[in-house]
Amino acid sequence: MNDALIRYFPRVDYTPCWQAMRTLTDGRTVDTADELWVLEHPPVFTLGQAGKPEHVLNAGEIPVVNSDRGGQVTYHGPGQTVIYLMLDIKRLGLGSRGLVSAIEQGIIDFLDSHGIDAANRDDAPGVYVNGAKIASLGLRIRRGASYHGLAINRDMDLSPWQRINPCGHVGQPMTTLSEQGVVLDRQTMEQQLVTLLAKRLGLMPRTAPAPDWYNDISEFPPAQHSPAP
């Protein structure tokens, strides 16, 4: 298994986090460790490379950012865990489809461990519970490495999703872990999900401190997480 550094953040603005992902990816060598960044964003809508502005129905006071990930429009906000995956997919022996499948299956494994029957869809990346979307995916692969990642709804306010067509799908219902009867503190939930994702991806997780770019911009103290198993 390949070691992967797991970095936990309380909350970080979208744009500096995105810039840091690109910087890490552009500077990678064959020896660069894989990293997973586990965090929350303040409220933001992001449009992927194929994103159509008309899928943003009424942004209101929530900012809209044009991103370089795949996919259409999505929402990030408090109560949602985002995991960015900076992976050398060549080293892991994964293609783009294999990477998406491994991420989706890791989320499905986590939900199954809490008695939730979830599934993916061939026509729309993500994970669904009885047709309602509980987790979204949006990735970018460049020079054999991935960045961006997944978002899973813990106990968030779902009303901002009504201001967009989620991932370009009109009327797509959304759901959360709490709606499905899963009530976990954020730290426990994130560690469980990271463990199952790492297993699917063939990674050995090692908790690491917040990087310099975060310490430079953040007004928040580093999150306190115990080492991943």
> What is the set of active-site residues?
167
Do the annotations mark residue 151 as ligand-binding?
yes
Q: Phi first, then psi: give them for residue 176, nearest 5 degrees.
A: -135, 165
Cα–Cα separations (whole angstroms), residue 221 to 6, 43, 214, 217: 17, 20, 10, 11
Cα end-to-end span (Å), the chain: 14
Q: Who contacts 205 (Cβ-Cβ below 8 Å, separation ≥6)?
A: 4, 6, 36, 194, 195, 198, 228
User: Helix, strand, or coil here: 221?
Assistant: coil
Task: Answer yes or no: are the C-beta atoms of 225 and 187 closer than 8 Å.
Answer: yes
Do the annotations mark residue 51 as ligand-binding?
no
Do the annotations mark residue 192 as ligand-binding?
no
Do the annotations mark residue 138 as ligand-binding?
yes
Do the annotations mark residue 180 as ligand-binding?
no
Q: Phi first, then psi: give them for residue 149, nearest 5 degrees.
A: 170, -125
Do the annotations mark residue 49 as ligand-binding?
no
Token pair for 14:
């979208």
Do the annotations mark residue 25 as ligand-binding?
no
Do the annotations mark residue 73 as ligand-binding?
yes
In 3D, which of 19, 14, 20 has the Cα closest to residue 64? 14
Angle at 46 between CA 51 and CA 187, to 5 degrees: 140
Do the annotations mark residue 150 as ligand-binding?
yes
Cα–Cα separations (whole angstroms), residue 171 to 7, 29, 144, 226: 34, 43, 35, 40
Do the annotations mark residue 196 as ligand-binding?
no
Q: How far is it, in rounded angstroms, from Cα 165 to Cα 133? A: 12
Chain center to CA of 96: 16
Do the annotations mark residue 74 as ligand-binding?
yes
Do the annotations mark residue 72 as ligand-binding?
yes
Q: Write out the binding residues.
A: 69-76, 136-138, 149-151
Q: Write out the binding residues for substrate.
A: 69-76, 136-138, 149-151
